[in-house]
């Protein structure tokens, strides 16, 4: 994840559409009493969990599909997570590798009990097929084998996922530089750590290396907190609910500056309270704050990466 930190820091230094306001970071950190509010991983009570390999399979499928909910106002991460949970409770073989390779759009909708086409439905189906095929080809059909190979390292796990699954290769080119974000690969590591409470499949000795998961909610919350400032043109685009193209300078800056800003927050909080604060914890705090605000205006980008 050092590639994520260094490349996003470079973006933050040269960005023109999004600015990180250090005084805003200091103000937010100054208002934190003792430590950041703790948010439990499954605070919504919507995820499948049996403390075994099937939970790992569930989380990997969930994170393969965890992107782009905003085009359908009634669709959300909670709907996806709970829909997959229900599917697995009804049929323990629903996420077997061979079955993942055969799902169609209508079958995915039926599994989620969703009444209409999903945003980027063809891409979601393609990614299910990709996950099933590569799990079967390289990991005996089981995501738990993938996790076993990482040697309890979140960094190795993210690297392994990015190497084997193209749909998780979340990086872009910005002003001639390769920028790495790896949102869904990192969130899988964080989900394992959170679900298993740092034990068993969730024991990752370097979970502190994981950054935040650059999506469309966290930048909006950081702006609301006064940590990110947008150019007038970018602010107008977002406030008008106009789309921002994937891979554009604006989109990359929104995501990269969010990662960098939260890294600066983490460093300042850690020095203030005298112990390490995890970016994973900060991300969950910011994200849970954002999803509770139905009127929160965020950028709109059609992307399979978040």
Q: Which of 63, 170, 191, 215 is catalytic?
A: 215
Res 38: pLDDT: 76
| pTM metric for this prediction | 0.95
34-42, long-range: CB within 8 Å, 24+ apart, which pairs? Answer: 34/273, 35/269, 35/273, 35/277, 36/269, 36/277, 36/281, 36/282, 36/285, 37/285, 38/281, 39/281, 39/284, 39/285, 39/288, 41/191, 41/194, 41/195, 41/197, 41/284, 42/194, 42/195
Res 109: pLDDT: 97
Task: Check residues 41 and 231 and name the one with the higher pLDDT.
Answer: 231
Q: How confident is the model at residue 40 (pLDDT cuts 50, 70, 90)?
A: confident
Nearest Cα residue to 86 out of 144, 41, 46, 142: 46
Task: Decide if 255 contacts 181 (C-beta within 8 A).
Answer: yes
Q: What is the pLDDT of residues 6-37, one digit of tens each?
A: 999 999 999 999 999 999 999 999 888 766 76
Using DSSP's 3-state secondary structure scheme, residue 91 falls into coil
Q: What is the pLDDT of residues 76-122, one digit of tens each?
A: 999 999 999 999 999 999 999 999 999 999 999 999 999 999 999 99
Average pLDDT over all residues of the chain: 96
Res 103: pLDDT: 98
Entry field: residues in the chain: 306
Q: What is the pLDDT of residues 251-299, one digit of tens each?
A: 999 999 999 999 999 999 988 878 788 999 999 999 999 998 988 999 9
Is 63 noted as a catalytic residue in this protein? no
The CA-based diameter of the chain, rounded to the nearest angstrom, is 52
Question: Which sign, positive or negative, has the C-alpha torsion 43, 48, 52, 54?
Answer: negative
């Amino acid at each position: 994840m050092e590639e994520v930190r260094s490349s996003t820091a470079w973006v933050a230094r040269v960005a023109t559409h999004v600015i990180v306001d250090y005084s805003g970071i200091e103000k937010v950190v100054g208002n934190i009493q003792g430590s950041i509010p703790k948010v439990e991983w499954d605070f919504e009570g919507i995820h499948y969990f049996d403390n075994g390999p099937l939970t790992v399979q569930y989380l990997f499928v969930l994170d393969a599909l965890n992107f782009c909910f905003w085009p359908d106002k009634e669709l959300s991460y909670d709907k996806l997570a709970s829909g997959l949970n229900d599917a697995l409770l009804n049929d323990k073989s629903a996420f077997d590798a061979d079955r993942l390779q055969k799902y169609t759009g209508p079958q995915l909708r039926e599994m989620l009990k969703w009444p209409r086409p999903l945003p980027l439905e063809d891409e979601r189906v393609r990614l299910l097929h990709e996950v099933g095929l590569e799990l079967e080809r390289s990991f005996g059909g089981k995501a738990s084998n993938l996790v076993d190979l990482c040697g309890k390292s979140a960094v190795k796990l993210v690297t392994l996922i990015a190497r084997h699954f193209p749909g998780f290769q979340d990086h872009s080119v910005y002003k001639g530089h390769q920028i790495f974000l790896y949102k869904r690969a990192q969130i899988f590591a964080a989900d394992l750590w959170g679900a298993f409470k740092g034990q068993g499949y969730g024991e990752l000795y370097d979970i502190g290396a994981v950054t935040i998961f650059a999506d469309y909610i966290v930048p909006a919350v950081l702006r609301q907190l006064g940590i990110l400032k947008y150019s007038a043109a970018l602010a107008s685009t977002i406030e008008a609910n106009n789309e921002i193209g994937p891979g554009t300078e604006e989109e990359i800056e929104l995501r990269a500056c969010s990662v960098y800003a939260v890294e600066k927050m983490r460093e300042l909080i850690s020095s203030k309270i005298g112990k390490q604060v995890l970016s994973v914890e900060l991300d969950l705090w910011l994200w849970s704050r954002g999803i509770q605000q139905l009127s929160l205006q965020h950028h709109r980008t059609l992307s399979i990466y978040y």
